[in-house]
Structure 1
Amino acid sequence: MGIVLEQAIDEFQELIDKVEEPLKTTFKNVHQGYLRETLIRFLKARDWNVTKAHTMLVECLRWRVDNQIDSILSKPIVPSELYRDVRDSQLIGISGYTREGLPVFAIGVGLSTFDKSSVHYYVQSHIQINEYRDRVLLPSVSKKNGRPITTCVKVLDMTGLKLSALSQIKLVTIISTIDDLNYPEKTNTYYVVNAPYIFSACWKVVKPLLQERTRKKVHVLSGCGKDELLKIMDYTSLPHFCRRGSSGSSHQTQSVDCFSVDHPFHQQLYNYVKHHYETQGQAEPAKQGSFHVGFPEPVAERVEMAKTIESKLHKFENCNGLSKPVDDRKASP
């Protein structure tokens, strides 16, 4: 790392050292002992402009305090039937780890319906997964690997993507904005798999709107992406939707659905949140309102992308064959 970048990190740290409570306490939950890596993430998100990175981080810390994010891992989504509904309609899970030790998050973009609960429960669930990743999972794998691991990879399954996605753009924009402003640079690489034609068409118009830093992270893979993903992870870490065409002679054909509420990751997360609620001296509530979080104003880039995608999807409203597999050569970024 160059001298100029080192100076930027040092200058940034001097500024952050001056923040007062309660921002100082919530910052500890953000960096989890990996202060330098955290400062670098915010600097990258603001193109190494120290002033802008400082403003971004302070606003993030204020958002955490104002919305009690530090306590969100003690706020279970109950009853359990509601949690199951959220998991069945907001498809996300962990399938394993890359050979470098990064968690592999699998996301069912095309088949997530977000139609079984209010927007607040979906946002609460998303933030809980973020916080569990950053405060429990990543510190654990860092200790196991003997080095800081502060990012993950995401495999985005576009199976089933269709025009109904139009109704989800607002919610997806809210969640994406929360990530952009408060969890920047937490994803090392995005792998897009099972992309239908409609994704290819949207990608062509959205790609130019992305910052170069983001564009370089996105890789659209051929088909289910199995061959490419096996270059960075073992077969057992492949998401279930990437295991098509596997030979039963060398691999176990039974795939574990990492989206399922019964998957070990979701069971561990739910039990962790439930335990932390109960340690407050209370029994599990039979019913509880959602954990309302203030929605930040979407950044200009997100607004433009949402409008572009919405416009593109409208053009397909009267078209047929939207599930046609994408021509992988045309989909490559």
Structure 2
Amino acid sequence: SCFLSNIEDITIYCCNTNSTVHPENEEWTCFEQSASLDIKSFFGFESTVEKIAMKQYASSIKKGKEIIEYYLRELEEEGLTCVPRWSPCPPSPTKPVVPLVIPALPITPTISIEAPPESVNEIQGCKEDKLDADYIKRYLGDLTPLQESCLIRLRHWLQETHKGKIPKDEHILRFLRARDFNIDKAREILCQSLTWRKQHQVDYLLDTWSSPQVLHDYYTGGWHHHDKDGRPLYILRLGHMDTKGLVRALGEESLLRHVLSINEEGLRRCEENTKVFVRPISCWTCLVDLEGLNMRHLWRPGVKALLRIIEVVEANYPETLGRLLILRAPRVFPVLWTLVSPFIDENTRKKFLIYAGNDYQGPGGLVDYIDKEIIPDFLGGECMCEVPEGGLVPKSLYRTAEELENDEIRLWTETIYQSASIFKGAPHELLIEIIDASSVITWDFDVCKGDVIFNIYHSKRAPQPPRKDPLATHGITSPAGNNVQLIDKSWLLGQDYSMVESPLTCKEGESVQGSHVTRWPGFYILQWKFHSMPACATTNLPRVDDVLATLQVSSHKCKVMYYTEVLGSEDFRGSMTSLESSHSGFSQLSAATTSSSQSQSSSMISR
């Protein structure tokens, strides 16, 4: 803020907040907020600063929503379900009108309600199902009874909905700590991260990713022993790195994948140090040397790549950074910090220690966190550091924009999963042709956004080619670029095609695996359809989410990530007994297929 106060070309207009009666329901209140920002000059980063401002503004709106919801819950707990509409009182003919003075509400800090229990019985169950005290002390660290209860409850929820792929307690605990042990918030970001890891095969990154030689030669970062707390130490000589050369030679996606491999390696080293030091070590220390940092490092595509990397790491590796030591910060550092800091979580920013010049060499400096004998030689220590010194990447290694684009497409399409968008009235459908009866169709999909209904249909005749979006005929680009519809509207269910499985409703964040043993040859259509939410129960005091859902048309969109495979009956490994024994009680599809012997089909559902 001190740096921004010296810039006279930034003009911020005040925010406006209005409340109006909802046009369709006079019992509801709409809250509207608007603001404007005019940036005339900021070192060529005007658009980036605008995005930063919008992100901060969106964060403020979210916090306002939480405050409104908090006071609505307070009213409900007091038994107040209806607030009469305010109307001015007519003035008394004999008494003077006394103005109504409303006392100002006290300004409260950020409201954080730590994982309220769904019921008393659930809390009592958690108390009975405690973790072993030695296990907590050895691998997890200090936990209060409430924190231990939150970990157990979230782990149980994952066991019920994500069978076969439960992350370790240390991994779950990081997401809980990142959201102050609010289970709902931690569950949301954890499910998003698990979907992201599956889509990009991050669990196998250390085994499959091979860094290009240019990274070995010019990426000025590497692991170097550990700090005084036993945390793995990563050193990054950012001031010596040719960010422009690396982006031009590798592309943004390769740099991102390299950074992800560093984070995965950090998690592995934390597990190793936990065994070596016989105490829980769940995060690492990063030392960033900024000697040599100048305006050349503020190259726009390089800053853009850095911001994206920070965003991905913040979302999927929370609470993995124990401390960040920034050494020899030059005068240009405030400009970079102004651009980067809004994208870093507030809890993470608290772990930053910044030293200018040689301040790190005195008391309270580097020796307080790193043993003197392992301080790198380029920082005045005696330990040889194997981190590359960097330098300019030769222009002969630069690649054309077309080469970089093709390489980036290859990197992120190596995954076996495909993604699709589902809209209200526009399901996504996948055609599978079966030649031999008794083949096995298997599927594995994650519901990334919204709720969907999964159906399987059979038809003796092939559907027509996918219908083109009617918007395209008018020169308008349809938002459903990866949405395919095969079943013609003129087809009649039971005549042109038939349903071979009972519909399955899948909630957001769920993972579903299943199989179907085909009875007839022909064409099978897997369909994901938008699930319309039932009408909300009418109450005199509506919830904020109900009002917002009415106003947001964009909520009528779902997204799934799926993989399918067809196996011959002789190649299918797994008996019907094993399929029946592994179905989930949450699945009506599984219950229907395993109880019906006439359909000769079976399903295996795991969420």
User: Which residue is 1:157 aligned to?
Assistant: 289
- CA drift at 1:211: 4.8
| TM-score normalised by L of structure 2 | 0.37
- Residue 93 of structure 1, aligned match among 222, 236, 249: 222
- CA drift at 1:14: 2.3
Q: Higher mean Cα deviation, 212-221 or 233-242?
A: 233-242
Q: Cα–Cα, structure 1 residues 178 and 74, in superposed 2: closer, same or farther, change >3 Å?
A: same
Residues 265-298 of structure 1: per-residue CA shift (max 9 Å, x gap): xxxxxxxxxxxxxxxxxxxxxxxx677248xxxx
User: Which residue is 1:213 aligned to?
Assistant: 347
- CA drift at 1:76: 4.2
User: Which residue is 1:312 aligned to?
Assistant: none
Written as runs of structure 1 = structure 2, the 5 A alignment for 1:217-232 is: 217-224=351-358, 225-227=360-362, 228-232=365-369
CA distance in 1, matches of 2:224, 2:346: 28
- Residue 112 of structure 1, aligned match among 238, 241, 251: 241
- Whether 2:160 is the aligned partner of 1:18: answer yes
- The amino acid across from 1:131 in the alignment is E
- CA drift at 1:207: 5.7
User: Which residue is 1:73 aligned to?
Assistant: 206
Q: Would you say the 8 A contact 1:15–1:54 is kept in 2? A: no
- The amino acid across from 2:154 in the alignment is F
Consecutive unaligned residues of structure 2, counting only runs of 5 or more, are 1-142, 391-406, 414-607
Q: Cα–Cα, structure 1 residues 22 and 60, in superposed 2: closer, same or farther, change >3 Å?
A: farther
Written as runs of structure 1 = structure 2, the 5 A alignment for 1:24-35 is: 24=166, 27=167, 31=168, 35=169
Written as runs of structure 1 = structure 2, the 5 A alignment for 1:269-288 is: none
- CA drift at 1:11: 2.5
The structure with the largest alpha-carbon Rg is 2
- Whether 2:370 is the aligned partner of 1:242: answer no
Q: Secondary structure at the match of 1:17?
A: helix
Q: Higher mean Cα deviation, 43-52 or 173-182?
A: 43-52
| TM-score normalised by L of structure 1 | 0.65
- CA drift at 1:217: 0.5
CA distance in 1, matches of 2:307, 2:412: 15
- CA drift at 1:63: 0.9
- CA drift at 1:195: 0.5
CA distance in 2, matches of 1:219, 1:138: 22
CA distance in 1, matches of 2:209, 2:146: 45
CA distance in 1, matches of 2:366, 2:372: 9
Which structure shows the bigger proportion of residues in strand conformation?
2
- CA drift at 1:196: 0.2
Q: Would you say the 8 A contact 1:90–1:122 is kept in 2? A: no
CA distance in 1, matches of 2:313, 2:325: 18
Written as runs of structure 1 = structure 2, the 5 A alignment for 1:137-156 is: 137-156=269-288
- CA drift at 1:180: 0.7
- Residue 132 of structure 1, aligned match among 243, 246, 265: 265
CA distance in 1, matches of 2:209, 2:349: 36
Q: Cα–Cα, structure 1 residues 166 and 206, in superposed 2: closer, same or farther, change >3 Å?
A: closer
CA distance in 1, matches of 2:343, 2:311: 15
User: Which residue is 1:195 aligned to?
Assistant: 329
- The amino acid across from 2:234 in the alignment is F
Aligned length, in residue pairs: 246
- The amino acid across from 2:149 in the alignment is Q
Root-mean-square deviation (Å) = 2.9
User: Which residue is 1:49 aligned to?
Assistant: 182
Consecutive unaligned residues of structure 1, counting only runs of 5 or more, are 247-251, 262-288, 295-333
CA distance in 2, matches of 1:132, 1:126: 10
Q: Cα–Cα, structure 1 residues 203 and 76, in superposed 2: closer, same or farther, change >3 Å?
A: closer
Q: Would you say the 8 A contact 1:22–1:65 is kept in 2? A: no
- CA drift at 1:123: 1.7
The higher-RCO structure (CA 8 Å, 6+ apart) is 1
Q: Would you say the 8 A contact 2:240–2:389 is kept in 1? A: no
- Whether 2:315 is the aligned partner of 1:181: answer yes
- The amino acid across from 1:86 in the alignment is L
Residues 31-83 of structure 1: per-residue CA shift (max 9 Å, x gap): 3xxx1x322310222232211111111111111111111221222436xxx32
Q: Determine what percentage of the aligned residue pairs are the same residue.
A: 23
Q: Would you say the 8 A contact 1:101–1:149 is kept in 2? A: yes
CA distance in 2, matches of 1:66, 1:292: 12
Q: Would you say the 8 A contact 1:111–1:159 is kept in 2? A: yes
CA distance in 1, matches of 2:354, 2:165: 39
CA distance in 2, matches of 1:293, 1:91: 25
User: Which residue is 2:494 aligned to?
Assistant: none
- Residue 9 of structure 1, aligned match among 151, 154, 160: 151
Q: Would you say the 8 A contact 1:97–1:103 is kept in 2? A: yes
